Structure 1
Amino acid sequence: MMIVGRCSGRRRVGTVRFPSEEQNVMFRLMWMAGLAWSVAVAGARAEVMELRYTGTLGPRRSTLKAPEKQFTLYCLVNRQSAEVDYVLEEQGPGRWPWPERFGRVGLVGAVKPGIRVLYDHQGSLHPQAVQRPVFEFLDKLKPGSSWTVERLKYSVVAKQTKRGRKCWRVEMSNSFGPRGKIWVEQSTGIVVAASRRMVMGQGDEFVLAIELASQNPVDAKRQAVLQKPIGTLLAIQKGLKRKPGQTRPELSSGQIADVRKVLGRLQAESRSTPLASLATFIQKDVTGQSKRVASIDELAAAMVGKPAPAFRLNTIDRKTIDSKSLAGKIVVLHFWNYKGDKLVEPYGQVGYLDFLHGKRRRLGVQIIGVAVNPALGQPRTAGAVLRSVRKLREFMNLDYPVATDSGKVIEAFGDPRRLDAKLPLWIVIGADGKVADYKVGFYRIKADEGLRELDQQLIRLIRASRKKKAAR
């Protein structure tokens, strides 16, 4: 093709050659590569991004016969607010109840309790911290730098490629030696991988490790979609008012009712998001807990207001307590395991109960702890159970009597464990010998109020008993 052009006032004749098909293919490949590079850079610099990690928690040495735990961690990182919203899914020994499987934590400085997995080692539950997705000390990342936070020393020891990314390798140590490593991407501060040693049980060493599985930038439209179910979840969590680190899954009837009010909205908002499986689990759990609470309410209704069953108990001090000797008194029976080993807070709330015993016993109130364990019915195992109960009493310095029950007495009052509920069970018997209250689970407590709900009930019974005596 001939063209005529003008340059500096002179006519010029030239030929234009169109690219060949091979050149067109090459140009398209170069353009696509450039576009992919641009997207990758944009993702690396994104202010909001989705990160997914896979993790394990297991024995450091194969000689320790303990199972390995696997978990996945979804994070929605917002650099502008310096926060991360997370959802945890666990498989293996130990698992958080659903209200503790998600949350929001800061990205800067020390944060407690932070993101944690739960591991069951030899019957004891151990929360273990997981490294946050963005390294919390970005300003410290320089060759050879080191610093100490809460007796843990961090040292930047090398630049290293990890999972195809250029990283700083940060090592952690304390007075006992190496504690772990963190690989931080140099260009973004994102944690690509991390491992940490910890000790559980009787000096048993474990390793918790995570690796980045995927990273995606989040635009404003997707962020708005994700924030709806996250906001609903955080509002549910706040409304439940559970203590941090709560390991018991049971919810009260009031808590269940509050969650049910927003379940439909949560499921609609979480559809086609990474939170959908959590919303489905919550719906199933709340349905099951609703049935459990309804069954317990029926059990309580069948007991309250009726004469208490006759009972006979032997204390760990080899004394006998029976219902006849307690006639005319207000009685609290506290059924729990009273195990002295593998203690888990709040220890059956026995400390608060002992305080209440000292406060009300002069007013005609008798509190009796009942250690429930089927092993007490077997001569060969009863001795070990008794030693454990005595250990707990000494550890908690309990002043009220503690008796034992292999299961017969609690069954007479209606064993809630048949309904998949957990102890403690609190039975309050009025001076008239009738059951005044039947409660399963823990009381809500404020540190400065103790067992206020139970105490108020005892005060009402004390006043009613005095009034009845005065009328005679």
Structure 2
Amino acid sequence: MSQFQNLSSRKMKLKLILSLVLISVGSPLDAAELLTYSGQMVGEKGDPAATTKRFTLAAVRDGRNEGGILHWIVVEDGRGAIPWPHSYGSSQWMDGNGINVQAATASRNNPQLLYKNEELKAYVAVTLPQLADGGKLNQESIWKQGPVTYRVTERQSVEGQQTWRVLGFTNFGVKRTFWVNDEGYIVRLRENVTIGRGDRFDLEYDLKNVEKLDEDTRGKVVTAFDVFNKFRTKVDIEKLEKEIVWDDQQLEAFREDIDRLVSVSADTPLSAVARLAQTDLKAQKGRSGGVATLMTRAIGKVVEEPGFELYRGSDYSEDAFTGNVTVLHFWEYRSSPLEQPYGQVGYLDFLYRKYKDEGVKVVGVVSNTLLEDPAERSRVRVNARKFASFMNLGFPIVADVKGYIGKIGDPRGAGAKLPLFIVLDQKGRIVHYKAGYYEVDRDLGLKSLDSVVKELLEAASE
């Protein structure tokens, strides 16, 4: 063999070695896996059939040398569901800094469930199925995170996999138990959850399937999650909300991006989220069109003899609907579940106290379907009074016992939700109709409503 041939052979070997080094250092471990979990949440009391909520958790585990990223989605079945922009996320885990379990409440770094019944709506954190440094567990492993101490108790086989059984406990007893395989991800979890006023539930999930992803599929998943995560940032929906009320600017961005969200999510776990997004956008279009029609019909109507029944306060008379600027706030006024932003009554009370000496009246109108049943009205009254007292509201509370909201234009009939804000001018005519929440100004509160009231006062003084 010539010197040139020897040199070429050495170069080829060197290139091969370098390429292997680059693969091992700079690229994902071979690597990406789709983990699919089946889970449920069941009340400790009551009929399991009535309290059970089921869910599916899918997580693409994209491992790297010093940790990796979990791209996850959660799909819920029964007892409510979180808004779709909160049903997905990307969470990083870092190896080398000690064993760590991510199970934060109300955090976008964790999958979340929404549990809903007649008394409450509560977020429930789902433990991220990947442990930082999870592959380093051994019989002696013990660590503490916040109030929870974790300890490896024994080696067990789960569905054919060798795992470490980990017990997490607080001063009050066992919080969660999970089984972790040698690759550092959870294959089974059992957890005690308390929500609302001490209601206890058993939350569990089990690994049902592991699918290796080729590099092309992994690339599609990474791109899809990147697009979806950027969309959420673009429309400024970073904070977890139990209900999202899209404003006009957000809806415009939603319409612009929906086709991109659908196309990029094809053949990835996010396709399920994209379908929810499409359904939501169609509903938003229907609501906005229906509400716009109701608003057009309402403007100019005179509110007279609505037959409201006084529940709380003394500064109320239907005769005052003329001669004053009046804001009617139709909402349920329930004392439970207590959920922010509480129908925006805090901001409304601020506006009332600001303008009450200038001839502005604010009336909270209880609009609850239970009012249709005379036997339930006493319970509605108690709830409304309790809520108004809790919020220390200065304006009176009445009940729409005759369903007058239907004559004005009930937005619920168009698929929208309360609250409904109605502004009457000094002649008792409807001059402003707003279904849903206002954007909040840092200094003025409900700035748009404030502007309407201020303009009416200024026009009367001219």
Q: Do both proteins adopt the same fold according to a TM-score greater than 0.5, normalized to the shorter chain?
A: yes
Structure exhibiting the larger radius of gyration computed from Cα positions: 1
1:70 alignment partner, one of 15, 31, 54: 54
Corresponding residue of 1:10: none
**Residue 97 (structure 1) aligns with:** 83
**For residues 446 and 90 of structure 2, what CA distance do their matches in structure 1 show?**
31
Q: RMSD in angstroms over aligned alpha carbons? A: 2.7
Q: Alignment partner of 1:299: what SS?
A: helix
What amino acid sits opposite 1:297 in the alignment? A
Instruction: Pick closer, same or farther for the CA change 1:285–1:407 going to 2, 3 Å.
Output: farther
Counterpart position of 2:32: 48
Distance 1:61 1:434 in 2: 52
The partner residue of 1:88 within 68, 74, 81 is: 74
Q: 2:112–2:126: 8 Å Cα contact kept in structure 1?
A: yes
Partner of 1:145: 141
> Offset at 1:377?
4.7
Q: Distance in 2 between matches of 1:160 and 1:194?
A: 14
Partner of 1:396 in structure 2? 391
Change (3 A) 1:377 1:193: closer
Instruction: Letter of the 1:398 partner, please give it.
Output: L
Equivalent residues in 2 for 1:259-338, closer than 5 Å: 259-309=254-304, 311-317=306-312, 319=314, 321-338=316-333
2:459 matches 1:460: no
Q: Which amino acid aligns with 2:395?
A: Y
Q: Deviations over 1:294-337 (max 9, x none)?
A: 01011112223454455343321375844432323221111000
Tell me what 1:155 maps to.
Answer: 151
AA aligned to 1:176 is F
**1-structure distance, mates of 2:442, 2:42:** 36
If the length of structure 2 is used for normalisation, what is the TM-score?
0.83
Partner of 2:251: 256
AA at the equivalent of 1:94: G
Is 1:365 the counterpart of 2:360? The answer is yes
How many angstroms apart in 2 are the aligned matches of 1:374 and 1:319?
A: 25
Unaligned runs of 5+ in 2: 1-27, 95-99
AA of the residue aligned to 1:244? K
1:49 Cα offset (Å)? 2.9
TM-score by length of 1: 0.82
In 2: Cα distance, 1:77 partner to 1:455 partner: 50
Seen in structure 2, the aligned counterparts of structure 1 residues 452 and 107 have a Cα distance that, compared at 3 Å, is farther
Alpha-carbon displacement from aligned partner over 1:348-386 (angstroms, at most 9, x marks no partner) = 111222122222222322111111124335442221111
Mapped pair 1:107 → 2:93: yes
Query: Shift of the alpha carbon at 1:208?
Result: 0.9
Counterpart CA distance in 2 for 1:139 and 1:151 is 23
Matched residue type, 1:153: T
2:267 alignment partner, SS class: coil
Contact persistence 1:70–1:91 (CA under 8 A): yes
Q: Distance in 2 between matches of 1:355 and 1:297?
A: 28
Q: Go from structure 1 to structure 2 and tell me whether the alpha carbon gap of 1:446 and 1:318 turns closer, same or farther (over 3 Å shift).
A: closer
**Could you say if the C-alpha distance between residues 277 and 115 of structure 1 is closer, same or farther in structure 2, counting changes exceeding 3 Å?**
closer
How many residues are matched?
Answer: 423
- Structure 1, unmatched stretches of 5+, are 1-43
Deviation at residue 418 of structure 1 after TM alignment: 1.2
Partner of residue 348, structure 2: 353
Q: How does 1:225-236 map to 2 (within 5 A)?
A: 225-236=220-231
Shift of 1:147: 2.5
Q: Residues 455 and 179 (structure 1 numbering): CA distance in 2 closer, same or farther, change over 3 Å?
A: same
User: SS state of the match for residue 320, structure 2?
Assistant: coil
Give the residue type in structure 1 aligned to 2:237.
R
8 A contact 1:57–1:69 mirrored in 2: yes
